[in-house]
Every structure is written in structure tokens, then in C-alpha cells.
Amino acid sequence: MDLISIIVPVYKVEKYLKECIDSILNQTYKNFELILIDDGSPDNSGKICDEYAEKDNRIKVIHKENGGVSSARNTGLDNTSGEYITFIDSDDFVDKRYLEVLYSTLKENDTNISICRFAKYTHSSFIIFNEIFPEKINISFNDKYFLNFFARYFSFKNNIFGSACRTLFKKDIINNFRFSNDIKISEDLLFIVNVVYNSQSISFTNEALYFYRIDNTSASTSYKKNFLKSQCNLSNELTKLFSKINNKYFDKILKRYKALLCYYLLSNEIKFRKSNVEYKQNLKEIRKSELYKHFKLFSGIKILKPKAKIKFFIIWFIAKTRIFG
């Protein structure tokens, strides 16, 4: 059995951490190493990691200064010994067959990547998304089915989880790819599309094996500083990648996604304007940016779900009429 490295970044999750670690230790596939990256957590998370490491020699704990989830994952990548790698977030948990099914799916189909379905989890319910994929997709930008699959990463109409989690990677294809510390939102997206672009094929299991916890205290509900720089960095990196693809269909996708990046920028400032004295100046800087050129109503609406379309329209209207500056 090949060794699988499981990378778990840990920060302020003492409430959920034990459930996450227990779900990993209960795996039916036993040959793994669990790398817990304590990212300078101010609560008891680091202590919990150490307590588990004393009981199971498959666990490696690395304590570091806080640098964010990308920094923590990169530290994990630099300290792996396994032939295969998967990422699990510390407030989520997995089915006991998570590793077994992903590994067997990858090996049986002779692919570099395998992906499972996921379920969103709250304190009272599970929501399993209706993602049905074929057993295997060959990665070719001349293949219509693959183009459709790849495009889903940039469309919020669909429920594909734009995350490095719920995926098993052959270590060789990750190579020197790392998560960008200069991108605060969608750093997973940039990482995974780069890895997919440089791979040959992907295999799928339609079993829901990864459970993604919904927590309203997440970073997405708080004000993001220096967000303009982060979003522009993401836009520039995606532009470089899409220029390699050289496909008119993907040019349209990128323009629509840039409209969405600008929407998040504006929403971040408008939503928290009462607590941010610099929001008017920040709005001016956003309007001067390259991203604002792509902030077109129909571009953004085309890749959003119905409820999100309304939010996009409201932010678009406020920004264009300059109600708040």
C-alpha cells in the first residue's frame, strides 16, 4: 500500500478539531501520515494536536507563526513523505472510506487525480450536492466534455467545490506548485487549475465522502484588508494560465470571472463601510483597476445562482450610481 500524506492546516478550531482528527484516524486505509500544521493558533488547537501525536506515531505536528492557510499548506507540502497527497480542512471531517475510495478510484483508472462528491454540513443537516461525473476524464482542451468540466470551476451556477480538499493528488504532478500567499480568496482555485492543467486525466467517485462545515464565523464574513491587491494578483495569474490555453470560449469565461472578482471587491467595501473610514478611497482605487473594466452586469449574472444574481445586481447598481462614494 502506498503512503498517503494528509495535510491539515490548523487555526482556532478547538471546537471542531477532534472530530476532524478522529475521522482521519478511523480511516479504513491505514497507511498514511497526518501532518497537522499549527498556524500560530491562539487557542488550544496546538495543544490538541500534540496530545494526538503522543498517541499515534502516524501524526506529525508542525508549529509555526501565523501565516494563513496557504502558508500552512505549503509548509505541509514541504514536509510530506507520501506518494500521494490530500488536503483536509480542520473544521471539516471525512467518511471512514475517504482515503480507500479515492486511492482505489485513482489506481483503477490510472489517473493522477481523483475527486469525490461532498456534502455541506451544519449543526442540523447535510446537503449532498448533485454532482454526477463520469468515471474518468482525459484532460484535453480540445475535448468538449473536459472544457465543460473545467469551466465549472469558474461558474457559481454549479456546486463544484473550488477547493483543494476532497481530492487525492499524485505527488509528482504537484511538483513545485504551491499556494499563493499573495491571494487571500480563491487561492485553492489557482492551485488546483494549475495542477489540473499540467495533469493528464482525472477520475471520479460519485460517493459523498467529504463533509464541509458551514460556519458563519469564517473569514468570508469579515472585512478583508488589502483585498484589491489580492484580487488583482489572482486575475493576473489566471490571465497567464488562460493565455496558454488560447481558447476563445475560455476568454469569455475569464472575463465573466473577473466581473465576479470585482463584485467581491466592491461588496467587501460597501458591506463594511460603517467600520472602515477608508472605504471611499478604496472604492476610488477599485474603479481605477483593470478588474473594474470587467464589472459588467450580464457578465457576472451569467455565472451566478438565482439568489446571488440579486446581490450582484444590488452591488452593481450601488457602484455604478456611486450612492456610497
Helix (H) or strand (E) holding 131: none
Instruction: Indicate whether 91 and 238 sit together in one domain.
Output: no
Q: Residues 63-98: pLDDT tens digits?
A: 999 999 999 999 999 999 999 999 999 999 999 999
Instruction: Indicate whether 159 and 32 sit together in one domain.
Output: yes
The candidate with the shortest Cα–Cα distance to 257, out of 230, 240, 238, is 238
Instruction: Indicate whether 126 and 257 sit together in one domain.
Output: no
Q: Among the three residues 213, 243, 261, which one is the final residue of a domain in this structure?
A: 213
Phi then psi dihedrals of residue 34, to 5 deg: -105, 115
Phi then psi dihedrals of residue 40, to 5 deg: 65, 35
End-to-end CA gap in the chain: 60
Instruction: Indicate whether 237 and 130 sit together in one domain.
Output: no
The Cα–Cα gap between 152 and 160 comes to 7
Q: Residues 242-299: pLDDT tens digits?
A: 888 777 777 888 898 999 999 999 999 999 998 888 989 999 999 999 999 999 999 8
Q: What is the CATH number of the domain that holds 121?
A: 3.90.550.10
The HSE-up count of residue 65 (CA atoms within 13 Å, CB side) is 0
Q: Among the three residues 213, 245, 274, which one is the final residue of a domain in this structure?
A: 213
Instruction: Indicate whether 197 and 244 sit together in one domain.
Output: no
The candidate with the shortest Cα–Cα distance to 177, out of 161, 160, 162, 164, is 164
* Domain, as residue range, for 316: 223-321
pTM attached to this predicted model: 0.90
Instruction: Indicate whether 126 and 182 sit together in one domain.
Output: yes
Structure confidence at residue 36 (pLDDT): 98
> Does 212 or 122 have the greater pLDDT score?
212
Q: Tell me the angle at which helices 45-55 and 17-25 cross, rounded to the nearest 10 degrees.
A: 20
How many domains is the chain partitioned into structurally?
2
Q: Reduced to 3 states, what is the DSSP secondary structure of residue 8?
A: strand
Residue 254 lies in a domain: yes
Instruction: Indicate whether 149 and 291 sit together in one domain.
Output: no
Strands (E), the chain: 4-10, 32-39, 59-64, 84-87, 93-94, 113-121, 126-128, 136-138, 167-170, 201-213
